[in-house]
Amino acid sequence: MRDDSPNSWEARADAHSFYGFTDLPSINERGAVVLTHGQGPYVFDVHGQQYLDANSGLWNMVAGFDHPGLAEAAKAQYDRFPGYHAFFGRMSDQTVMLSEKLIEVSPFPRGKVFYTNSGSEANDTMVKMLWFLGGAEGHANRRKIITRKNGYHGVTAVAASMTGKPYNEVFGLPLDGFLHLTCPHYWREGRDGESEAEFTARLARELEDMITREGADTIAGFFAEPVLGAGGVIPPPEGYFQAIQTVLRKHAIPLISDEVICGFGRTGAVWGAETYDFIPDAIISSKNLTAGYFPMGAVILGPELTDRLQTASDAIEEFPHGFTASGHPVGCAVALKAIDVILNEGLMENVRALTPKFEAGLNWLLENPNIGEARGKGLMGAVEAVRDKATKTPFEGHLSVSERIANTCTDHGLICRPLGQAVVLCPAFIMTEPQMDEMFNKLDAALKTVFKEVA
């Protein structure tokens, strides 16, 4: 519970911090959790309390909070060349090497990379690239962007317009021209008697109908997360991306894979697109790109978009877009090390090895009569709370059930994330089997406590 003494960390946080994506009633009652350091997958607060962070920060601290190689990579680069940009044909050697590495590990035979400071900025940049192409290629009306309801693509004005979340209405978003299809959540959106294959076919028809209604010559691109992350960890139905990509190719609409969460191992493969067996036209990367040790995003372009954007830029002698810290040498050095750590230090293998135990833990929680669905892929999963499992009826919103569960977990030394009626788990790739047991046991105890309170 919060400490209201004038000089407490909680009071100091309240006095000068404006909270984002935070349940304010919980903060008012409990105060902020102010952290000082981390060890492995654990973090510690100013009172010495230890927490197992089942969120791995914000999906991204996959190598833990004290990986010596990542810290050393940053320190060495700060000593050597602490900062620069990627404007005017000048960039660091680390930037060049990272671009080479990203194309090497991408599904593309060749391509180019553009750097940003976040996934939001990378998605925003990709939209500007598509708009730029529309104008340069004589299709000035080709500006509409298609995403899915409950998808999450960021918080800039453009990326928030892509994000199919109702909370963006408070900002007067989405902007015109941002279109949202049905969320590909078979458990929640499937109709009575509709098979998973029939659900997939219906979503493909919905896309075809939208393109016909809006006009293919007005649509710039389609963006999709392989697994919806901040929408509540929603894997696609069987055959989804193959069905969607067939429609998009018919109308020459690029498919952009938003791999901010899925990329670099979260689903058990380097890319979520690899997990679901499709090759996009471009990839958006962030989070695991640096294992959370530096803010960075990247747009990874496949061959066709690379060639088209190069031609369009040559015509006006530049691509007039960029950020002061694009391709930051320290960030690039950290990313190069992070990729090496994930791919070559056993982290990806550990994700694959732990996935059966993770899935078993989710299914164990599903035995609770108030858990309606357990879902996930690799080391990302969620359990959805319901008042009635048979009818999938959710709890009343005013009960804030998932927030209560998360707060109860925090009281017992576990950090997990409430999302709507779901509780999300996305543990670090260094997790051990005993730590996974700890995670599920603490969450199970919290579920039982809260469901008894709200029954």
Residues whose CB falls within 8 Å of the CB of residue 8, separated by 6 or more in sequence, listed in order: 2, 31
Q: How many other CB atoms are found less than 10 A from the CB of residue 388?
A: 12
Cross-strand bridge partners of residue 43: 38, 51
* Angle (CA) 253 256 262, round 5°: 155
What would the DSSP string read from start to end of 295-311? --EEEEE-HHHHHHHHH
pTM of the model: 0.96
Residue 422: C-alpha distances to residues 101, 358, 374, 385, 392 (Å): 36, 17, 9, 6, 13
Name the residue ranges covered by the structural domains of the chain: 33-66+346-454, 70-344
With beta carbons less than 8 A apart as the criterion, state whether 276 and 395 touch.
no
- Span 75-119, pLDDT tens digits: 999 999 999 999 999 999 999 999 999 999 999 999 999 999 999
**What's the confidence (pLDDT) of residue 6?**
84
- Specify the CATH number of the domain 70-344: 3.40.640.10
With beta carbons less than 8 A apart as the criterion, state whether 287 and 60 touch.
yes
**What's the confidence (pLDDT) of residue 404?**
97
Task: Collect the ranges in the chain with pLDDT lower than 70.
Answer: 1-2
- Span 202-254, pLDDT tens digits: 999 999 999 999 999 999 999 999 999 999 999 999 999 999 999 999 999 99
Fold assignment, 33-66+346-454: Aspartate Aminotransferase, domain 1 (3.90.1150)
Helices and strands (DSSP H and E) totals, the chain: 16, 15
Q: Which residues of 339-377 are buried (b: 16+ CB within 10 A; e: fewer)?
A: bebbbebebbebbeebbeebbebbeebbebebbbbbbbb
Residue for token digits 């550990």?
350
CA distance 363 to 223: 30
**What's the confidence (pLDDT) of residue 5?**
85
Residues whose CB falls within 8 Å of the CB of residue 382, separated by 6 or more in sequence, listed in order: 232, 233, 234, 374, 375, 376, 419, 422, 423, 424, 425
Of residues 404, 365, 401, the one with CA closest to residue 386: 401
Q: How many other CB atoms are found less than 10 A from the CB of residue 35?
A: 16
With beta carbons less than 8 A apart as the criterion, state whether 337 and 63 touch.
no
What is the phi/psi pair of residue 389, to 5°? Answer: -70, -40
Rg (CA), the chain: 22
Token pair of 42 as six digits: 């654990």
Token pair of 19 as six digits: 């909270």
- Using a 10 angstrom Cβ sphere, with 0-12 exposed, 13-18 middle and 19 or more buried, the burial of residue 407 is middle
Q: How many other CB atoms are found less than 10 A from the CB of residue 111?
A: 22
Distance of CA 349 to the CA centre of its chain: 21
Q: Are strands 50-53 and 112-116 parallel, antiparallel or unpaired?
A: unpaired
- Using a 10 angstrom Cβ sphere, with 0-12 exposed, 13-18 middle and 19 or more buried, the burial of residue 309 is buried
What would the DSSP string read from start to end of 4-28? -STTSHHHHHHHH---SS--HHHHH
**What's the confidence (pLDDT) of residue 4?**
76
- Return the beta strands (E) in 5-140 as ranges: 35-39, 42-45, 50-53, 112-116
Residues whose CB falls within 8 Å of the CB of residue 298, separated by 6 or more in sequence, listed in order: 102, 113, 114, 115, 116, 122, 284, 285, 286, 289
**What's the confidence (pLDDT) of residue 2?**
67
- Return the beta strands (E) in 302-409 as ranges: 371-377, 380-385
